[in-house]
Structure 1
Amino acid sequence: MPEITRRHTLCAAAAASLAVTPLARSAAQPAPPAPASVPPVRTTAPLFGAKLWTLPNGLTVALVENRRAPVVAQYLYYAAGGGEDPAGRSGVAHFLEHMMFKGSPNVASGLLSRRVAREGGNDNAFTSRDVTAYYQQVEASRLPMIMAMEADRLEAALIPADELESERRVVLEERNQRTDSNPRARFQEAFRAALWGPQTWAGRPIIGWADEIRATTREDLAGFHSHFYAPANATLVIAGAVGEAEVRALVDEHYGKVPAREVHRRNRAAPPTAAHEPRLTVREPQAREALLLRAWMAPSLTTPKAEQSLPLEVLAHLLGSGQGSRLHAALVETGLAVQAGASYDSEAYGVTEFMVYGVPRRGVTPERLEEAANAAITTLLQDGPSDAEVARSIRQMSSGALLALDSFGAAPRMLGGVLAIGLPADVVEYWPARLRAVTRAQVIEAARAVLGGAPNTTAWLLPEGA
């Protein structure tokens, strides 16, 4: 199941991003700024009112009480994802995610999922660039059961050697279905490698290059677990019909007994100063339609230029979020494209990307579409958006916060993803108020800094013969 960030949840009505989604189971990078760099905004009530505390062994715990249904969700996030894969072993974080279901000292291989299913619940996991997370959703009285099993594999995972090859085949088949058999997915993978470099932490596919998946050993997986799967590198989020006193007692009972141990913190290489390939053209016999992608390297909430992040979110919305956006008007309404949009997500560990895309209408040449897209961006950079455009985008984006409150899985996914990359819960809790403080001048400044000068790659996927 794909990871859901705060922006994905709150802006669900926006145009779908064409970036490759995180994978589900079937010089050093700058550290995140101190929480003081994201000052709390307390002029409105928090979205979820989460309660946070830390155990003596270093585990961070967040509780969101929600009594609307007699159910509870448990999410355990590790601050390590595909970006932490060792050199030459892309896909290790994701491969380990699979092997974490193969048993722990007191839970046999596959038993965790079977127990959850017998209770009428569900469980799964996902790996993104920045995190690996495991979750269960069950009837509230079954919380002790899922806590005991999750704490058991936090403390130790078996990673049985006799199940390694069968699971490797599962991972390779997942890659085949998700990427190798899909011309657009292959193109997206090549595009990311062109922007960042195929062996950089940002340019490697989260699922891994096929030859490196085949070369991964049990020692690689055990080493990743030893380095990153420790209480001090984990965030536990509990949401549902359960009170604070009960949760504190259960957490102490099950997670509190997991010994503290040394953890390897992220140590990513500095981002490149130029795109690996500024331009890429891929011709695919299986492609049915052309696709334009262009992405710029961009700051996130965990970089020194974090102040540009919220203005960039507003920029992405007004530039390419459906009807009324600049790209829709310039490309779709003029008959040049059948789809056009923009995407940006500030909740990343380190540099991220700001992307625009377009699918030309049949008969429209790639050159004509690209020229029109570039002209729309140039006009925006020269003149800036209007006050009305900025206000409209902020209004539409912040209204999505109300929808998030109705989704049972929103709180643990939104809060867990933020806490696991070192940001404070206020990033989520007071996001609408902070968004409403963004000004037109800030949007213009961020647009010119990123779209006007950051390293970028332009790429075309073309049907063979086009």
Structure 2
Amino acid sequence: MRKNIITLVTVLFVGLSANAQKVEFEEYDLSNGLHVILHQDNSAPVIALEVLYNVGSKDEVDGKTGMAHFYEHLLFTGTQNIPRGKWSEIQSSRGGSGNATTNWDRTNYYETFPSNELKLALWMESERLLHPIVDQKAVDTQNEVVKEEKRQRMDNAPYGKIQYGMVYKHLFDKHNYGRPLIGFIKDLDNAKLEEFKAFYDKWYMPNNAVLVLAGDFQKKEAKSLIKSYFGTIPSRTLPKRVKIIEPERTKEKRVTEYDSNIQLPAVVLMHKTPSMRDREAKVLDVISTILSDGKSSRLQKKLVENKKKALAVFSFGRAMVDYSVYTIGAIPLGKNSLDDLIKEMDEEILKLQTELISDEDLQKVRNKFENRFVSSNSSVQGIASSLASNYMLMGDTHRINNELEIINSITKEEIRAVAKKYLAKSRRVVIDYLPTSKKK
């Protein structure tokens, strides 16, 4: 057991050599529509398996929110052939581990195992798709788990509404991205068992999924096992998706949010930006890096180190399929006001909108993205995740190898143009994020 644990830990530290930057993979479809991607790497006796389903919280309907995230938990209950509550026990007893995540666009299930447990890993994932336990006992149990997760991560976490997108309701008036990722608890409380089953039947099928296997295996054997475990699972007709068009904002909107878990306020500038598939989304990633990534970033140097007006600054993009969200924010230090921080941040944004960044700054950004690429693809689990996301969300598996090329092709002129286009004051929502004690 100790040997298995050590082996699995090494998967996190398998570096890429200079001539192995390109991720090699093979992809194909089973007859039932399941897309399969294989990345063979026999350098360590470990496999990573990921099954990503093209369903997230944006696919929920009014009055029945929270289903996508709920299934992230529910599908660990057990199956017709895996006893209730024994999923994790079986995994760990064979040296494996696994988990799942949900966002607005997708739900993924992933695990790592010693490579001699390939059959077990594939069988368990096929069981999750083919024979899950979805009964009232499972629903009631997981409902309490979801409520506790909401309490810990959102209700009781400082600045949790910002981190988990609970404030997106102010940015999206029509699109489902404005709903809480976890849904509304009252909807889950009111949902009937038949409605939970209907959501599963609507979205969980092989022709709405991608399976990625990465690590120590032989392709001939892997293909045979994948076909054996997944090939007979029937496909079904997927519902037609219609993208909800979110109108462009033409006037700045300012709102107030309260958080009982904080003592220091924050100010947040939130912008609706293009789909993660759009080149401009990568330009905004570059802009975010320039503004607040690291001690040498512009907002960090100006507001935290030099002027000492902010305790902390942050900016991040949340990449999504229909639209993305770009957030900039700061927590004031001492008696500095939120309006003062807005003024300072706007000055830096204006510089990006009107001036070209230096060659030195552009090269720094490129270096950071190269380091991120190496880091994210330094384990078979990371590669499996990247391959799945690039196929399903980006619409192009080869994007895993084109990412740096795209970043390195971004020009200083593009950065200026995109900053001017998407960071305009008229497009944004400003949030005064205050302690509940300030509520009048």
Is the 8 Å Cα contact of residues 39 and 214 (structure 2) preserved in structure 1?
yes
Q: Which runs of 5+ in 1 are unaligned?
A: 1-8, 10-43
Residue 21 of structure 1 corresponds to which residue in structure 2?
none
In the comparison of the two structures, how many residue pairs are matched?
419
**Corresponding residue for residue 426 of structure 1:** 398
Aligned equivalent of 1:114, options 58, 72, 89? 89
The answer as to whether partners of 2:76 and 2:87 remain within 8 angstroms in 1 is yes
Partners of 1:187 and 1:326 in 2: how far apart? 22
Name the SS for the 1:280 alignment partner.
strand
Give per-residue Cα distances to partners, 1:247-285, cap 9 Å, x unaligned.
Answer: 111111111111122122543421233389921223445
Return the letter of the residue paired with 1:398: E
Corresponding position: 1:249 with 2:224: yes
1:183 offset after TM fit, Å?
Answer: 4.5
1:131: Cα distance to partner?
Answer: 0.8
Among 447, 452, 457, the alignment partner of 2:419 is 447
Out of 212, 234, 253, the residue aligned to residue 209 of structure 2 is 234
Q: Give yes or no for the alignment of 1:74 onto 2:49.
A: yes
- Letter of the 1:166 partner, please give it: T
Asked if residue 400 in structure 1 is aligned to residue 372 in structure 2, the reply is yes
1:136 maps to 2:108: no
The residue that corresponds to 1:3 in the other structure is: none
Among 383, 387, 396, the residue aligned to 2:355: 383
**Identity rate, percent:** 24
Q: 1:88 and 2:63 equivalent?
A: yes
* 5+ residue gaps, structure 2: 1-11, 13-18
Higher RCO structure (Cα 8 Å, ≥6 apart): 1
Aligned residue identity for 2:316: S
Query: CA deviation digits over 1:226-262, x for unaligned, max 9?
Result: 1111111100011111121121111111111111221
Aligned equivalents of 2:195 and 2:243: distance in 1?
A: 18
CA distance in 1, matches of 2:78, 2:261: 41
Question: Which residue of structure 2 aligns with residue 352 of structure 1?
Answer: 324
What CA distance in whole angstroms lies between the structure 2 residues aligned with 1:93 and 1:163?
15
- Give the match for residue 279 of structure 1: 254
Task: Identify the structure with the greater helix proportion.
Answer: 2
Q: Structure 1 residues 153, 282: closer, same or farther in 2, change over 3 A?
A: closer
Aligned pairs for 1:183-222 within 5 A: 183-186=158-161, 189-197=165-173, 200-222=175-197
Q: Which residue of 1 aligns with 2:3?
A: none
Once residues 454 and 429 of structure 1 are traced to their aligned partners in structure 2, the CA distance between those partners, rounded to angstroms, is 36
Whole-Å separation in 1 of the counterparts to 2:67 and 2:340: 42
Residue in structure 1 matched with residue 346 of structure 2 by the alignment: 374
CA displacement at 1:153 relative to structure 2: 2.3
Q: Which residue of 1 aligns with 2:32?
A: 57
Distance 1:178 1:399, change over 3 A: closer
CA RMSD of aligned residues (A): 2.3
Q: 1:458 maps to which residue?
A: 430
Q: 1:195 is aligned with what amino acid? A: L
**Does the residue aligned with 1:196 lie in a helix, a strand or coil?**
coil
Matched-pair contact (CA < 8 Å) for 1:284–1:462: yes
Mean Cα deviation higher: 450-459 or 240-249:
450-459
TM-score (normalised: structure 2): 0.89
Following superposition, the deviation at residue 345 of structure 1 comes to: 4.5
Equivalent residue for 1:147, pick from 105, 118, 122 = 122
Q: 1:181 aligns with which of 133, 144, 156?
A: 156
Contact 1:47-1:401 at 8 Å conserved across structures: no
Secondary structure at the residue paired with 1:296?
Answer: strand
For 1:401 and 1:187, how far apart are their aligned partners in 2? 26
Distance 1:276 1:75 in 2: 43
The C-alpha deviation readout for 1:12-69, integer Å capped at 9, x for no partner, is: xxxxxxxxxxxxxxxxxxxxxxxxxxxxxxxx97532121111111111111122232
Matched, 1:417 2:389: yes
